[in-house]
C-alpha cells in the first residue's frame, strides 16, 4: 500500500522525545526562554540546559549526550519554577546559587553582584602589584566591597603569604562571603563590615583593590538581562559613575604603606577620569591596564 502523505511520519527528532525526558523538557524550556523579550535573554539555550543540569545534579554535557534521560514529576516542577524565574529576568547565577570566577566555584545570592569575567583582570593586576613590590614581610591586601568575596579569595589562594582583609557594607553579602571563605580559603580572609576603607587601619596595606560600583545612574546597560535585577548599590556609582571610586581614592592614601598600591576596576570609558581622580588624591605612577579586548579596565596608583 502506498502511504498517503498524511500517514507518513514527519521526522522531527525533538517532537519524538517524550516530554518526560531531558531532551523533551529542554526543548520546551528553550522555546520559553527564547521568546522572552524586553530585554531578551543573552543565552536562552545555554541557560535552559544549565538549569536542568542543576536540577538533575548532572553535567550539562550528559544531558546533551543523553536526551532520553528521564525527568520525574518533582524534577519537572522544580525545573519549571526555575525557568519561570529566569524568564522573569533573574540572573542564572541566582537560580543555581553558583558562579565560577578565577576557576573557583563561588556561592552567590541576590545580595551580591554576580562576579564578572572582567574582574579577573583586577585579580591579575593585584597579583602583579604584590609580585613587583616583593620586599620583606607579608604583603597585606584589602578588597573593598568584596560582595561574595571573589577578589579577596582569589588573591588569598594565589599569594600564600598574603594577609587578606575584605570589607563589605551589606551584612547579607558579608554572610555569603563568609561561607565562600570558609569553603575556598579557610582562615585566609578576614572579613570586616563597613564602607570601603572605613574598617581599615592606617598605614597598614600593600595593596588596596576594589571592583566598586561604577555605572552611571542613567546607563542603559542597567536595563539589561540579569543586570536589571542585581543590587543597584553594587552597580551604580552616583550620577557620573565615579562616586565610589572617589571615596575609595580619598580613603586609601592613608591606609596604604609608602609605595603601596591602589587598584580599581572601572568602565571601559572611565580610564582618563579615574587617572585624574587618583592624581588629585595624591597617588603617583598612575597607569591603566587594558582587558583582553583592549579596553581600559583597571587603574593603579602608588602612595608616595
Binding site for ligand GLN (CB under 6 A): 116, 118, 211, 213-215, 221, 227, 235
Contacts by residues 214-222 (CB-CB < 8 Å, ≥ 24 positions apart): 214/241, 214/242, 214/244, 214/245, 214/265, 214/266, 214/267, 214/270, 215/241, 215/267, 216/240, 216/241, 217/241
How many CB atoms lie under 10 A from the CB of residue 227?
A: 17
Q: How far is the CB of 223 from ligand GLN (least distance, A)?
A: 11
- Least Å distance, CB 54 to ligand GLN, is 23
Question: 66: how many CB neighbours lie within 10 A of its CB?
Answer: 12
26/274 Cα distance (integer angstroms):
45
Nearer to ligand GLN, 191 or 215 (CB): 215
Q: At its nearest, how many Å lie between ligand GLN and the CB of residue 102?
A: 16
Contact 304, 284 (CB under 8 A): yes
CB of 74 to ligand GLN, least distance (A): 35
Q: For residues 152 and 235, which CB has a smaller minimum distance to ligand GLN in the complex? A: 235
Q: Which residues pair with 101 in a beta bridge?
A: 104
Q: How far is the CB of 111 from ligand GLN (least distance, A)?
A: 15
Return the number of the residue (213 or 251) whose C-beta is nearest ligand GLN: 213
Closer Cβ to ligand GLN, 169 or 227, answer by number: 227
How many angstroms separate the CA atoms of 292 and 295, rounded? 7
Nearer to ligand GLN, 215 or 281 (CB): 215
Cβ-based nearer residue to ligand GLN, 216 or 303: 216
Q: Strand 205-210's sheet: what is its strand order?
A: 189-193, 163-168, 140-144, 205-210, 256-265, 296-302, 284-290
Q: What is the smallest separation between the CB atom of 36 and ligand GLN, expressed in angstroms? A: 19
CA dist 82 and 158 (Å) reads 35
Amino acid at each position: 500500500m502506498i502511504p498517503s502523505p498524511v500517514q507518513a511520519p514527519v521526522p522531527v527528532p525533538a517532537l519524538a522525545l517524550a516530554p518526560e525526558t531531558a531532551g523533551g523538557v529542554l526543548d520546551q524550556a528553550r522555546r520559553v526562554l527564547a521568546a522572552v523579550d524586553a530585554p531578551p535573554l543573552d543565552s536562552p539555550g545555554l541557560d535552559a540546559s544549565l538549569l536542568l543540569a542543576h536540577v538533575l545534579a548532572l553535567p550539562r554535557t550528559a544531558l546533551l549526550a543523553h536526551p532520553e534521560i528521564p525527568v520525574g514529576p518533582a524534577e519537572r516542577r522544580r525545573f519549571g519554577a526555575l525557568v519561570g524565574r529566569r524568564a522573569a529576568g533573574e540572573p542564572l547565577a541566582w537560580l543555581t546559587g553558583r558562579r565560577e570566577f578565577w576557576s573557583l566555584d563561588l556561592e552567590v545570592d541576590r545580595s551580591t553582584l554576580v562576579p564578572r569575567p572582567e574582574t579577573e583582570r583586577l585579580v591579575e593586576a593585584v597579583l602583579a602589584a604584590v609580585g613587583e613590590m616583593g620586599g620583606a614581610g607579608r604583603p597585606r591586601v584589602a578588597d573593598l566591597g568584596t560582595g561574595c568575596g571573589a577578589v579577596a579569595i582569589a588573591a588569598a589562594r594565589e599569594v600564600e603569604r598574603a594577609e587578606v582583609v575584605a570589607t563589605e557594607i551589606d551584612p547579607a553579602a558579608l554572610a555569603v562571603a563568609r561561607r565562600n571563605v570558609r569553603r575556598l580559603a579557610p582562615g585566609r580572609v578576614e572579613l570586616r563590615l563597613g564602607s570601603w576603607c572605613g574598617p581599615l587601619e592606617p598605614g597598614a596595606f600593600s595593596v588596596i583593590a576594589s571592583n566598586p560600583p561604577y555605572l552611571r545612574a542613567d546607563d542603559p546597560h542597567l536595563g539589561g538581562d540579569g543586570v536589571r535585577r542585581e543590587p543597584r548599590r553594587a552597580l551604580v556609582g552616583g550620577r557620573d559613575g565615579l562616586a565610589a571610586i572617589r571615596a575609595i581614592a580619598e580613603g586609601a592614601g592613608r591606609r596604604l604603606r609608602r609605595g603601596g598600591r591602589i587598584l580599581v576596576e572601572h568602565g571601559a570609558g572611565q580610564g582618563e577620569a579615574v587617572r585624574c581622580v587618583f592624581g588629585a588624591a595624591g597617588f603617583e605612577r598612575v597607569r591603566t591596564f587594558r582587558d583582553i579586548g583592549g579596553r581600559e579596565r583597571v587603574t593603579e596608583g602608588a602612595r608616595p
